[in-house]
Amino acid sequence: MPKAKKKVKEVDWTADENFSKERSIIYVEHTTECPIFQIKAEECGVFFQERIPERQFQLVRNKNGKQAPRDGAFEIGISQNARTSVHELWSGLTKGPPRRDKFPNDFEVLVPDVQRVLKKFYPDKAVGISDDEEDHTDY
């Protein structure tokens, strides 16, 4: 008798018991045609958690399995929290072949857009920017 697939517990991040204004959501739609797409999705989630440690990030892949990904898709979006709109950061849908073109060369290129989305809600916090990276123009 074949072993049953382990069901991944789906978490509704918008539900009151799970919701946090401090948790930003990284949405990745990725095809399952090749394992590298899943690996890159995980790397993306880890990157933002390490790059901007003052925020919590939750990676949501293919809408927790509720979305059938499009062929060749590697799309990255972010929302300030689970109850705000999703802003597209990257689309690899029309990129490639080769397959490596579907992904950003370095997730660092997405940081300014993530900061813009986060600042929209918290303009007083320079999220993910160290003091030496901020613009200190004297007038």
| Selection from 44, 57, 26, 52 nearest residue 106 by Cα | 44
CA nearest 92: which of 8, 19, 136, 36?
36
Q: How confident is the model over 99-115, as pLDDT tens digits?
A: 999 999 999 999 999 99
Burial environment of residue 54 by CB neighbours within 10 A (0 to 12, 13 to 18, 19 or more) = exposed
Q: Where are the alpha helices (DSSP H) in the chain?
A: 35-51, 62-65, 111-121
Strand 23-30 to 56-61 pairing: parallel
Q: In this structure, are residues 87 and 118 in contact, taking their beta carbons and an 8 Å threshold?
A: no
Class of domain 23-133: alpha beta
Domain boundaries, the chain: 23-133
Give the pLDDT score at 139.
Answer: 36
Whether the CA torsion 96, 100, 102, 105 is positive or negative: it is negative
Give the pTM: 0.80
Q: Tell me the pLDDT band of 134, cut-offs 50, 70 and 90.
A: very low
Among candidates 34, 41, 29, 10, which has minimal Cα distance to 69?
29
Mind listing the pLDDT tens digit for each residue in 30-89? Answer: 999 899 999 999 999 999 999 999 999 999 999 988 889 999 899 999 999 999 999 999
